[in-house]
Structure 1
């Protein structure tokens, strides 16, 4: 089956405290977004890569590709009003097979974990990597009081989230809801069960200056 990945990169970098969107910030001498794309190319050099970018960022991306001599083949879709609409636009460039949806600023998933997600997707309709919570958790109730949550029942969700193409396309025909926080939530709304696979604590999302420093340490430890 054809492997596809939609890399969603619409961040404005507000939490990073930078004028440069976080997906374009260099880490280990290369923009974060390029590392994310290369991660999937190294998994499967025939994979169909769709990069979803706001129209206002596309010129700068082309400039970066020339500057860094970035030649990994990929298509570009234009981002939408929300992440939901951006993924929907990317799906228009996918025809068949298995499709992953990936945060553009999550560049450290191992090849083994990506394989684990794609392999599981052949047996299940919807696959999500997740890790255990190591922190204590509390739920804030309507009256303002809080109560403990059993963390053994909690998993922290990551990407890539991987699906049969027809399942994801069907799910994205529904109307947008603010409760759609990721692709799994859209698919689950349509009645499809979500299968969890083992994620990685190093599969971090680059959203703050601290994340950049951790990412540099990860690169230097490879």
Structure 2
């Protein structure tokens, strides 16, 4: 099986307003519904688990029913960190998944994930067990220790920007999370970090610039413009 865990538990404070960013209406649908629809419409996805804030679960369930996102099997409460939220999703799947089933972990605020990205993640995860969706860095990246002047300038050709989904064999990502908890590592910003720390190779899947994460008000404007253009 191929199961998507979609993370919709963030507060979205950088976007502003009263609603978390993933619940803001964009072109007649909440942002999270655009994201879920990308996985729901992909023939290779068997079902979807959504990790959500407790106080938005009922609202999200209503939207999922209204927009006929039929592959969502459950909405579960998230944790206080991204890592905890993912672990809750993985734990929910423990009696459902086999060791070699593929789990795709995706940010709910990346609404423009393509079918090609999803399909490539599945193919590569089955082959390599761990996959990170990336794009090459098109800008020079500057490292600053004091946050006010240049400390070093890494070679741009060796730098990539991580996106999601990040996809894994279920047994591997579950092991990575359990090892992290035992070592009291509780606030990893993504799941590939945890797998990499086990000594496992993480294969790249090709992302694209449209698969951006909505973080700022400007991102919302860009997303709305793209979705409007696609209509």
Give the TM-score category using the shorter length. over 0.9
Q: How does 1:4-23 map to 2 (within 5 A)?
A: 4-23=3-22
Matched, 1:136 2:111: no
1:48 maps to 47
How many residues end up aligned between the 2 structures?
A: 220
* Residue aligned with 1:122, SS: helix
2:71 maps to 73
Q: How does 1:99-138 map to 2 (within 5 A)?
A: 99-138=103-142
Among candidates 197, 210, 216, match of residue 208 of structure 1:
216
Whether contact under 8 Å (1:121, 1:163) holds in the other structure is yes
Whether contact under 8 Å (1:40, 1:47) holds in the other structure is no
Q: Any stretches of 5+ residues in structure 1 without a counterpart?
A: none
Q: TM-score, normalised by structure 2?
A: 0.89
C-alpha RMSD over aligned residues: 1.8
1: distance between equivalents of 2:62 and 2:208?
33
Q: Hey, which of these two has a bigger chunk of helix by percent?
A: 2
Kindly tell me: are residues 89 and 217 of structure 1, through their superposed partners in 2, closer, same or farther at Cα, counting changes over 3 Å?
same
* Residue aligned with 2:152, SS: strand
1:154 maps to 159
1: distance between equivalents of 2:224 and 2:67?
21
Kindly tell me: are residues 145 and 46 of structure 1, through their superposed partners in 2, closer, same or farther at Cα, counting changes over 3 Å?
closer
Q: Any stretches of 5+ residues in structure 2 without a counterpart?
A: none
Q: How does 1:88-107 map to 2 (within 5 A)?
A: 88-94=87-93, 95-96=97-98, 97-107=101-111
Deviation at 1:142, TM superposition (A): 6.1
Deviation at 1:71, TM superposition (A): 4.0
Whether contact under 8 Å (2:35, 2:110) holds in the other structure is yes
Kindly tell me: are residues 217 and 172 of structure 1, through their superposed partners in 2, closer, same or farther at Cα, counting changes over 3 Å?
same
Q: TM-score, normalised by structure 1?
A: 0.92
Kindly tell me: are residues 125 and 46 of structure 1, through their superposed partners in 2, closer, same or farther at Cα, counting changes over 3 Å?
closer
Whether contact under 8 Å (2:136, 2:160) holds in the other structure is yes
2:28 maps to 29
Whether contact under 8 Å (2:40, 2:69) holds in the other structure is no
> Deviating runs (4+, > 4 A) in structure 1?
142-145
